[in-house]
Structure 1
Amino acid sequence: MAADWKKKCDSQWQLGAHGVLMPDSVDWKSVYEKKPFGRNLLQNPSPYGINHSVPPPEPHRSEIPPPPDQPPQFEPNGNFSGWKTSTEVLPYDTSGIPPGVVVCQLPQHRWFSLEQHVDLKAEGLWDQLLDEFQPEIVIEDWYEESQLDKSIYQLDVKLLGADAKTVIKQHAYNPEEDLDNYSHTWKKVSHVFSNYGPGVRYIHFLHRLKNQFMVEFFDTKVTDSSIIIKTSK
Structure 2
Amino acid sequence: MADEWKQKCDSEWSLGAQGVPMPDSVDWKLVYEKKPFERNLLHNPSPYGVNHTIPPPELHVTGERPPANQPPKFEPDGNFSGWKTSTEVLPYDTSGIPPGVVVCHMPQYRWFSLEQRVDLNAEGLWGQLLDEFQPEIVIEDWYEESQLHKSIYLLDVKLLGADGKTVIKEHICSPEENLECYSHTWKKVSHAFSNYGPGVRYIHFLHRLKNKFMIEFFNTKFTDSSITVKAAKM
Name the TM tier (shorter chain). Answer: over 0.9
Distance 2:130 2:40 in 1: 17
Structure 1 residue runs of 5 or longer lacking an equivalent are: none
In structure 1, the partner of 2:7 is: 7
Distance 2:143 2:55 in 1: 11
What SS does structure 2 have at the residue aligned with 1:159? strand
**TM-score between both structures, scaled by the size of structure 1:** 0.99
What SS does structure 1 have at the residue aligned with 2:228? strand
Distance 1:95 1:203 in 2: 39
The letter for the 2-side match of 1:18 is Q
Distance 1:222 1:173 in 2: 14
Residue 159 in structure 1 maps to residue 134 in structure 2: no
Q: CA deviation at 1:96?
A: 1.3
In structure 1, the partner of 2:184 is: 184
The letter for the 1-side match of 2:208 is R
The letter for the 1-side match of 2:54 is V
Residue 211 in structure 1 maps to residue 208 in structure 2: no
Taking the TM superposition and a 5 Å limit, the aligned residue runs for 1:119-198 are 119-198=119-198
What SS does structure 1 have at the residue aligned with 2:105? coil
Residue 33 in structure 1 maps to residue 33 in structure 2: yes
Structure 2 residue runs of 5 or longer lacking an equivalent are: none
Query: Which sits farther off after the overlay, 96-105 or 186-195?
Result: 96-105
Distance 2:218 2:2 in 1: 54
The letter for the 2-side match of 1:38 is E
The letter for the 2-side match of 1:229 is V
Q: CA deviation at 1:25?
A: 1.1
In structure 1, the partner of 2:79 is: 79
Q: Deviations over 1:111-145 (max 9, x none)?
A: 00000000000000000000000000000000000
The letter for the 1-side match of 2:202 is Y
Q: CA deviation at 1:232?
A: 2.3
Distance 1:99 1:183 in 2: 34
Distance 1:60 1:16 in 2: 55
In structure 2, the partner of 1:21 is: 21
Q: CA deviation at 1:208?
A: 0.2
Instruction: Give every structure 1 segment of 4 or more consecutive aligned residues whose post-TM-superposition deviation is greater than 4 Å.
Output: none
The letter for the 1-side match of 2:120 is L
Identity %: 79
Q: Deviations over 1:179-218 (max 9, x none)?
A: 0010000000000000000000000000000000000000
Distance 1:96 1:32 in 2: 59
Cα root mean square deviation, aligned: 0.6
Q: Deviations over 1:18-56 (max 9, x none)?
A: 111111111111100011101000000000000000000
In structure 2, the partner of 1:57 is: 57
In structure 2, the partner of 1:230 is: 230
The letter for the 1-side match of 2:3 is A
Q: Deviations over 1:123-176 (max 9, x none)?
A: 000000000000000000000000000100000000000000000000001000
Taking the TM superposition and a 5 Å limit, the aligned residue runs for 1:106-121 are 106-121=106-121
Distance 1:104 1:17 in 2: 68
In structure 1, the partner of 2:104 is: 104
